[in-house]
Structure 1
Amino acid sequence: MATYGFTYPVRAHFLENLLEITGYRLTPYNQIDDYGQEKDMENAKNKLKHSKRGRARLLLLLRMSLKLPTIKGIAHTLGSLYLAGIQTQLVLTSLSIVLLLACHGSMASSEQRLIFDKPEDGVRKIVLATNMAETSITINDVVFVVDCGKAKETSYDALNNTPCLLPSWISKAAARQRRGRAGRVQPGECYHLYPRSVYDAFADYQLPELLRTPLQSLCLQIKSLQLGSISEFLSRALQPPEPLSVQNAVDYLKVIGALDEHENLTVLGRHLSVLPVEPKLGKMLILGTIFNCLDPIMTVVAGLSVRDPFLIPFDKKDLAESAKAQFSARDCSDHIALVRAYNGWKDAERQQSGYWTG
C-alpha cells in the first residue's frame, strides 16, 4: 500500500505483509512477551556474527508491552528485509557499521543536532526517536521508518486522582505522521509493527487534553471568568471530561484554599488564577513571599514546571546520579539539590563574566 508524506510516496507495510514476505511462522514461543528473552539475545548475536550479508544485515527486536506476534517475530522479519534496527543498544553500539543516535525532548541541543549529520559511507544511521519526531523535525536521509504503534502519553487516572505517563496506542493521525517521516525529501518505506486490523481500530485522533490531564487550572479559570458552575460549564464541552475528574479538581482546589465550600473563589484563589503555573505551585510562590524565601522557592517552582533539568545520559546514568546526589548532600531532597545546582550555575556564570561575590 502506497501512501504519501509531504512530497514523496511512502510504501506502508503492516505486520501481516511482513510475515507473508519473509515466510516467518509464529509459535507460542516467539509471540509471548518476555519468554525466551535471553535465548533471543544470543540468537540475534549469532546471526549478526555469521550472516552472509555481514554486519550490515542487522536485526530488529522491538519488545513492546503487548501480547502480539510483533514481539518475537521482528528480528527475522526485518532482518530479511535488510533493515537496520534495534536488537539492543549494547549490541548495536558494538558494531562499527552502525551509528546509533537518540532523539527525545530532554536531550541537549548539541546532542540533538547530531541526528542531522550524514554518516560516513558504509555506516547505517539509526535514530531512536520519541513521538517528537512525528512533526517537529525532518531528517533528510531517512528512508525507512519503523513504527511500533505506541507512545508514552500523559493521562489522568480519575479513580486514583493521579496523572501518569504510560505507553498507549497511537492514533491514525499519528501513524500517518510517522509514516510521512520517510517521504519528506525522497521516496521511502514504513514498517508498521502491528496488523492492519489493529490500525483500523485506532482512534482517528489523539484524545483531547481536556480528557487526559488534571483540571485544576481550568477550573480556576472558569471561576475567575464567572462562567457559573464548573461541572455544568464543562458538561457542555464537545467531549466533556468524566464527572469524577471534575469533582477531584474542585475538591483539590477546596483543600488548598482556592475555593470555599460553596465553590466560590477565595482571595487566594483570585491570586492563583492570574499566575501562569499550576495552583499548587502558585501557592508555593505566595507562601515563599510571605515567609521571605521567595528566591529558592522560585527556583524549585521553575524546576517543577518543566522537564527535569538534570540530564541523565543512558550510558552515564550512575555518574549522573552520583553528581546529582552531591548537590542534595545529606538532605535527601531533589528540591534542595535543584536549588544548589542553580546557585552553583549562577556563581559559575558570574566568575566567567569577571564577577566574584566571595
Structure 2
Amino acid sequence: MSDFKPRFLKPSETSSFLDRNDSSLADSTDFIFNRHLSQSIQTQRQRLPIFNNRNHILFLLEKHQTLVLVGETGCGKSTQVPQYMIEAGWPGQVGVCESRRVAAISLANRVADETGSLVQEDVVGYAVKFDACVKQPKIKYMTEGILLREMMSDPLLKSYSAIMLDEVHERTLYTDILMGLMKKILRKRPELRLIVASATMDAKELFEFFNNKDRNKDSAVIMTVKGRQFPVNIFYTKEPVPCYVQKSVDTVLKINASKESGDILVFLTGQEEVDRAVRLLKEHANNIEQAKKKELMFVLPMYGSLPYHEQLKVFKSAPDGYRKVVVATNVAETSVTIPGIVHVIDCGFVKMRWFNTETHTDSLITVPVSRASADQRAGRAGRVKPGHVYRLYTEEAASKLADNTPPEIIRTKLTYAVLQLKALGISNILKFKFPSPPPVQNLKSALEILYALGAIDINGELTKPLGFHMAEFALDPLYSKVLLSSGDFGCSEEVLTIISMLQVETVFTKPSSGNFSIKARIQKRLFEVEEGDLITYLNVYNAFVSSEMSREFCHKNFINYKSMKRVVEVRNRLEKMLVNYDVPIVSCQGVTEIICKCLITGLFPNAAYLHYSGVYKTVRGDIELFVHPDSVLYTIPQPQWVLFCEVMHTTKLFMRDLTVIKSDWLLELAPHFYYKTTFKEF
C-alpha cells in the first residue's frame, strides 16, 4: 500500500454527560433480562461501549423528555437503547426511525437475534415502504416516511411511549420535518420520550431546539457515549486521484493481494458506479479463481434500489476461503453494520440533490463528503478487530472538507414535504418550526407547484379527494398526479409501468469492454422509440414480462435483472393503491400519444424547448439544458419540445428520462401554468 501515508484516528475526547456509577440506581431498577438468550450474545452485548451507560440512559429518560445521545459509530446505540427500555419495563411501544429501509430491516433482524425472537412478532418488527409488520411489536424499526404517514392517522402517536430518531447527522428532509413535528407532540404528551441519536451532530443546537424550560427545569439533556470497540487507522493518498472508481478497484486488489485479513467495504456515489466497480472486480475475481490462487474474492453490490433479498447477501459470511468485498453507496454509511468489515475504501464524494427555484427542478450533483460523513464511513471499520480506512484523497483536501452535510431541507425540492405537512394539518407552513428553516423561495415554489397540480386550493388547503390521495402516495407529487390521472386517459396500465421504472436508478447495464459495450448499444436499440426514454422503458418492461421475467433475457439484452425485479415489486404495490382509489386499471393498447398527454398532467413544470441556438431551454427560467448521453434522443435529430424527469449536473446540466411532446398539449392540459405569446427580438 505504498500510495498511502498513515494517520491514526484518535478516540473521541468528549466525556459522558453523567460520568458516574450509581449502584443505588441499579438496585432500584427492575431489569427484566431475557434468560433464553445464549451466553455468547449476552457477552457480545456487554462488550459494547454503551453497556456501561445503561443505567445512566434510563435515569436520564426518566427525568427528561428529550435525550440527545451522541455515541461513536459502533457503540451499540441503535440496537441497545430500545432493548434497555423494554427490559426496564417501559410501557407501550418503542419506535426507532432510520433514514433508509435497509438500515431499519437489518437492525430489526439484529435485535431479533439478540432477543431470541422472530422478526415481525411480538418483540421486534419493522415497517418500510411497501413492507410493514401486521402486529404491534414492542420495538418497531421503521423509515422516517413510515412514521410521518402514521402521524396522519394518529397525530399524537398515542401507541408509542418513546421515539428514537437515529442517525440525525444526515439531516434528511424527513428528519427535519419529524423533529419539528415531535417538538409539537412533546408539548401535548409530557409522558412521551424522544431520543435523538447520532455519532456526529451538533448536540448543542438540537438541545436548544427541543429544550422547553418548565419551572426552571430543562426538558432536554445531552449525553455522550465515548469509546469504540477497536482502533481505526486512516490512510490518505499522496496525490489527487484522477478516477476514484478505478482507484477503488486497484486498492481492493492491493489489499486482497496483501496478507491483511478481513472483508472490504468500498464507498462510491451511485448505482452506476457501484455496478461498474462490481463488474471490474468480478472479472478480476474470475481471473484469480482460474489461476487457482489463494486470494479469492466474493464481490457484492449494495445500494438503495437493490431488491431486499439481494441486499441481505452482504450481511452473510463469504464462502470458506473467500474474502467478502462490498461495493456500496452511502446507504452503508450509517446504521447498517456489515459483519466482518475491516477495510474501508472511501472515494470522498457523494451525490446530493440541489433545488433550482428558477426551473422548479432538482439537480443531482456529485460533491465532496463532509467530515461528519467521512467519519461515519470510517466507523464502518473497527467493529470486529482493528480497522483500516483508505481515503482516496489527500490529507490537505480532507482538511478543507465542510464540517457537516448541509441539511436536505435547505437544498431540495419541498413539494412532497409540504404536501405531507398539509395532510398532517399544518396550515401555516411559514410559521412551522424547523430545526433549520428552509429558504422562503423553496417553500413558495413548492406551494406554487402543488397549486398548479390541483393538490391545494387558493387558500392553501388540501383539495378533496385529489390532494388527500396524492398525500397517501410515497412518491413525488408530480408522479402521483400522473398516476391518479391515468384512469381518465385510459392508460393506467402503461403509466403504472413507467412510474415504477422511474423508481430504480438504472435499467440498462454498461459493459466496460469495447465489444460488449457495442453489443449493449445494439440491443438497446431494439427497444428504443422516437417518443423518448419513458416509452422505451415501457417496451423494456413489456418484453421482460413476455419473457416470463427471465434472467437470460436480461443477460442477452444487457438489462439489469435486479432492477427489473424491483420494478415488478413496486408496480404491484402501486397498482393496489390505484385500485383502492377506484382508478380503473386499463390499457390504451399502444397509443403512445395518450400516454404522452397523460404524462403532461403531472410533469408539465419540467418542459423544455429547443432554442434556435441549438440548446434546450426551460420554459420557466430560461436555463440551458442538454440531452443526457444515455437518452435515446441523444443520437437522433433533436425534437422541438420535451418533458424531462430530472436534471443531473456533471459537466453540464443534463436532462434525463425524456419524452417528446407537442407545445399545443401544454396549452391544452396545463393552461393554468402556460400561455402562448408572441414577442420580437430587436
Normalised by the length of structure 2, the TM-score is 0.36
Distance 2:511 2:470 in 1: 38
Structure 1 pair 349/98, CA: closer, same or farther in 2 (3 Å)?
Answer: closer
Relative to structure 2, which stretch is displaced further, 272-281 or 243-252?
Answer: 272-281
The equivalent residue for 1:341 is 540
Which runs of structure 2 are paired with 1:22-41 in the superposition (5 Å)? none
Asked if the contact 2:455–2:462 (Cα under 8 Å) also holds between the matched residues in 1, the reply is yes
Matched, 1:129 2:328: yes
Match of 1:327 in 2: 527
CA-to-aligned-CA distance 1:71-124 (integer Å, 9 cap, x gap): xxxxxxxxxxxxxxx9x959x949746859463425576598489664886x88
> Hey, what does 2:150 align to over in structure 1?
none
> Counterparts of 1:196 and 1:281 in 2: how far apart (Å)?
44
User: Is the contact between residue 427 and residue 461 of structure 2 (CA under 8 Å) also seen in structure 1?
Assistant: no
1:336 CA displacement:
2.3
* Structure-1 residue corresponding to 2:301: 103
Aligned-partner Cα distance in 1 for 2:492–2:409: 32
Which residue does the alignment assign to 2:558? none
Q: 1:172 aligns with which of 371, 375, 383?
A: 371
Counterpart of 1:277?
Answer: 475
Q: After superposition, what is the alpha-carbon deviation per residue over 1:101-160, rounded to whole angstroms, capped at 9, x for unaligned?
A: 463425576598489664886x88755432223246555454332323321223323354
Shift in CA distance, 198/278, structure 1 to aligned 2, threshold 3 Å = same
CA contact (8 A) 2:355 2:361 kept: yes
Question: C-alpha distance in 2, partners of 1:271/1:163?
Answer: 24
| Residue type of the alignment partner of 2:499 | V
- Report if aligned partners of 1:101, 1:125 keep a CA contact under 8 Å in 2: yes
Unaligned runs of 5+ in 2: 1-7, 12-71, 75-227, 259-265, 269-276, 289-294, 551-682
User: Is structure 2 residue 451 aligned with structure 1 residue 254?
Assistant: yes
Given the alignment, which residue of 300, 322, 332 partners 2:498?
300
Contact kept? 1:217, 1:278, Cα under 8 Å:
yes
* Distance (whole Å) between structure 2 residues aligned to residue 350 and residue 118 of structure 1: 28
Shift of 1:11: 2.8
Q: Which has the higher strand share?
A: 2
| 256 and 202 in structure 1: CA distance in 2 versus 1, 3 angstrom threshold | same
Secondary structure of the 2:351 match is strand
- Of 375, 394, 403, the match for 1:203: 403
1:71 aligned residue: none
The CA distance in 1 between the partners of 2:457 and 2:520, in whole Å, is: 45
Counterpart residue number, 2:232: 11
2:385 to 167, 172, 186: 186
8 Å CA contact 1:153, 1:168 repeated in 2: yes
The counterpart of 1:152, out of the listed 351, 355, 362, is 351
Instruction: Indicate if the aligned counterparts of 1:224 and 1:270 stay in contact, CA closer than 8 A.
Output: yes
1:142–1:275 CA distance, 2 compared to 1 (3 A): closer
1:76 aligned partner: none
Match of 1:232 in 2: 431
The equivalent residue for 1:81 is: none
For residue 242 of structure 1, report the CA deviation from its aligned partner.
Answer: 0.9
Is the aligned partner of 1:287 residue 2:485?
Answer: yes
Asked if 2 retains the 8 angstrom alpha-carbon contact of 1:260 and 1:266, the reply is yes
Partners of 2:333 and 2:446 lie apart in 1 by 32
User: With CA pairs under 8 Å and 6+ residues apart, which has the higher RCO, 1 or 2?
Assistant: 1
Once the two structures are TM-superposed, the CA of residue 252 in structure 1 deviates from its matched residue by 1.4
- Given residue 232 of structure 1, which amino acid in structure 2 is its aligned partner? K
Q: 1:180 to 1:274 in 2, by over 3 A?
A: closer
| Amino acid in structure 1 at the alignment position of 2:493 | D
Compared with structure 1, are the counterparts of its residues 196 and 341 closer, same or farther at alpha carbon in structure 2 (3 Å cutoff)?
Answer: same
Aligned pairs, number: 293
Query: What's the secondary structure of 1:143's corresponding residue?
Result: strand
| SS of equivalent to 1:244 | helix
- Partner letter of residue 237 of structure 1? F
1:283: how far off?
1.6
Deviation digits for residues 218-266 of structure 1 (CA, Å, limit 9, x no counterpart): 2223334442233333xx3110111111111122123223334443444
Residue identity opposite 2:435 in structure 1? L
Distance 2:480 2:519 in 1: 34
Cα 1:220–1:115, aligned 2, differ >3 Å: closer, same or farther?
closer
Seen in structure 2, the aligned counterparts of structure 1 residues 259 and 149 have a Cα distance that, compared at 3 Å, is: same
Distance 1:117 1:224, change over 3 A: closer
Given that residues 103 and 112 in structure 1 are in contact (C-alpha distance below 8 angstroms), is that contact kept between their aligned partners in structure 2? no
Tell me, in whole angstroms, the C-alpha distance in 2 between the residues paired with 1:217 and 1:151: 23
| 1:149–1:194 CA contact under 8 A, matched in 2 | no
One-letter amino acid of the counterpart of residue 256, structure 1: L
After TM superposition, give the deviation of residue 10 of structure 1 in Å. 3.0
Alpha-carbon distance in structure 1 between the residues aligned to 2:390 and 2:449: 45
Matched AA of 1:153 = M
- In the alignment, residue 248 of structure 1 is paired with which amino acid? S
Partners of 1:180 and 1:237 in 2: how far apart? 29
Give the equivalent residue in structure 2 for 1:83: none
Aligned to 1:9, what secondary structure does the other structure show? Answer: coil
Q: Measure the CA separation in 2 of the matches of 1:218 and 1:5.
A: 29
Contact 1:153 1:165 survives alignment (8 Å): yes
> What per-residue deviation string (whole Å, max 9, x for no partner) do you get for residues 249-298 of structure 1?
12212322333444344444344233332221122122211122211112
Greater shift, 186-195 or 245-254, is seen at 186-195
Structure 1 length normalisation: TM-score? 0.63
Alignment partner for residue 212 of structure 1, among 389, 411, 419? 411
Distance 1:12 1:159 in 2: 45
Deviation by residue 1:315-351 (Cα, 9 ceiling, x = unmatched): 45554454443234x3443322333333344444499
* Aligned residues with identical type, % of pairs: 27
Structure 1 partner of 2:101? none
For the residue of structure 1 that corresponds to 2:494, the secondary structure is helix
Output the CA distance in 1 between the equivalents of 2:356 and 2:395.
29
Q: What residue is the counterpart of 1:67 in the other structure?
A: none
* Structure 2 residue matching 1:228: 3-state secondary structure: coil
Relative distance call for 1:281 and 1:125 in structure 2 (3 A) is closer
